[in-house]
Amino acid sequence: MKLIIMRHGQASWSVPNDQERPLTDMGQQEVLSTASKLTHLGINRVLASPYLRAQQSGRILAETLGCSLETLDCITPDDDPMAVISELPARGNIALASHMPLVGTLTGLLCEGSIHQGPGFMTGNAAVLEMELPGPGLATLVEMIVP
């Protein structure tokens, strides 16, 4: 299976509630650029955090990739990466639209078996992982995509 872990695009600081921060125009362009580089991977599901900026990022991904968008409540910034792994389907090619620090800790856990080994993610960046089944240390980082 392939798992694409993407950090949402650049978000505005114009609202006081972190969960309601929208993407900026630049953030929308970042996500669109990254999504266009993922079209050849056969992604069939996009899962997004319930936060507005991740929902907007997920929608752009899903529309660009021609697949469905679903909300996954356990992929907000400070959620437990082990809980995320337990929620991942065992098959398919899936993209996640989420946040730092979770995208880094989840990538580290899947690839290295440690939440302390994950890469940094700028806004709109995505990690392309391959694995037989989702689990700690079972994935290979194939590529980092930058907008």
Give the predicted TM-score (pTM) of the model: 0.96
Mean pLDDT, range 32-59, rounded to an integer: 98
The structure tokens 């695009």 sit at 9
Q: Which domain holds residue 69?
A: 2-131+138-145
Q: CA 57 → CA 45, 50, 116, 137, 138, distances in Å? A: 13, 11, 26, 27, 27
- pLDDT tens-digit profile of 20-30? 999 999 999 99
Return the pLDDT at 89: 86
Number of domains present in the structure of the chain: 1
The domain that contains 33 carries what CATH number? 3.40.50.1240
**Which tens digit of pLDDT belongs to each residue from 71-107?**
999 999 999 999 999 999 888 999 999 999 999 999 9
Which residue has tokens 């907008």? Answer: 147
DSSP state of 25: H
